Amino acid sequence: MALTERGARNPDLPVSAATADDALVEAIVVPNVLWRPEDPAAYGGGALEDDPRLEMRHYDESGEGRRDDARWGGLDIVPTKADYVLDLIRMNSLWPLLSGLACCAIEMMSTATSRHDIDRWGMFPFRASPRQADVLIVAGTLTTKMAEPLVRLWAEMPEPKWCVAMGDCTCSGGRYKRSYSTVQGIDRVLPVDVYVPGCPPRPEGLIYGMMKLQQLVKERRGHWPERAIGPTVPDQV
């Protein structure tokens, strides 16, 4: 069964094994079956599965992040008005974590200050502690040395949480594609909700990305159960 209409029309797209049954959750994320490396020995030949530094891989399978403890509706199937209000609340006060790594951090700070003010959407408090943050805007190049601390920060953030990849370096490795010490896109280690390309993206671009995230939050697409680590190509963005 194809996940999307486009998938139904295109016989060449590989079909995912898991199909979503509940009508509420229309998986707009195609799980990472579209791309495999050509070389079976690549990515350590699967050795990454056992790497203790990549603890997030088992987090998704455990299903811990899928429960929404704040929901007021009784059943998980039928959304109520209260859930709608809950989504509005979350969407309008997304508090980012201060995780500016490199140059994109300057543009993120520029977005937060007077000229392009994201306080208009409730995002001014950049929390220093991951325990109080909702969204992790990874702004700047992620190096392999920093990957462990960043994944720990992500793990320390309480649910619901979202991740925004800001800048080319976090989307795909960017200008450091050939480097020996950068992670080629943070979706190799974290599940990403919104990608904001640019080097660095203009503040208007980041604001567009954050508004997209707000839209995802409101439509409950940002906290999807199918969220997984790996390159994902959403169908309707």
Partner 1 sequence: MDRAFRALIERTFGDDLTGPVRQRHDETEMRIRPGDVPQVMRTLHDDPRLRFEYLGDLAGVDTGTDFQVVYHLWSVVTPDWLRVVADGIPRDQPRIPSITFLWKGAEWMEREAYDMFGLVFEGNRDLRRIYLPDEFVSFPLRKDFHLPDDASRSPGGGVRPMEDAATPADAAETTVRRTAKAR
Partner 2 sequence: MTTPTRPSLDDPSLTIPVEHAGIFEPIPLARTERQREFYDLRDGEMLLNMGPQHPSTHGVLRVVLKISGEQVVDLDPVLGYLHRGVEKIAENSDFHHIISQLDPLEYVASLFCEWSPVMSFEKLLDVQVPRRAEYIRVLTGELNRIASHMLFLGWYALDLGGITPILWSFAERDEIVEMLAAITGAKLLFNYFRIGGVNGDLNHEFMSRLGDWMSRAGAQLEAGMGLLNENEIFVRRARGLGVLDRETALRMCATGPNLRASGVPFDIRRAHPYSVYPELEFEIPTRREGDSLARYLLRMDEVRQSLRIIDQCLHQMPDGPVMARLPRLLRPRPGRAYSAVEGPRGQYSCYAISDGTDQPFRLRIHDPSFLHLQLVGLLMPGNLIADTMAIMASLDPVMGGVDK
Report in angstroms how near the CB of residue 188 gets to partner 1 at its nearest. Answer: 5
Q: Is 214 in the site for partner 2 (CB under 8 A)?
A: no
Place of tokens 């992790």: 136
Q: Whose Cβ is closer to partner 1: residue 110's or residue 179's?
A: 179
Q: Which does 58 bind (CB under 5 to 8 A by kind): partner 1, partner 2, none?
A: none
Q: Which of 89, 113, 132, 155 binds partner 2 (CB under 8 A)?
A: 113
Contacting residue, 87, 107, 134, 226, with partner 2 by CB under 8 A:
107
Phi, psi for 226 (deg, rounded to 5) = -85, 5
CB 183 within 8 Å of CB 149 = no
> 37 contacts which partner out of partner 2, partner 1, none, CB within 5 to 8 A by kind?
partner 1
Using the contact rule CB under 8 A, the part of the chain among 20-28, 78-86, 149-157, 206-214 near partner 2 is 149-157
Please select the residue that binds partner 2; options are 1, 37, 114, 120, rule is CB under 8 A: 114
Strand partners, 233: 30
Q: How far is the CB of 140 from partner 2 (least distance, A)?
A: 7
What is the spatial distance between Cα 148 and Cα 93, in angstroms, rounded to a whole number?
28
Q: Judged by CB, which is closer to partner 1: 188, or 227?
A: 188
- List of residues contacting partner 2 (CB under 8 A): 52-53, 97-103, 105-107, 109-110, 113-115, 126, 128, 140-141, 143, 145-146, 148-150, 153, 175-176, 178-182, 199-200, 202
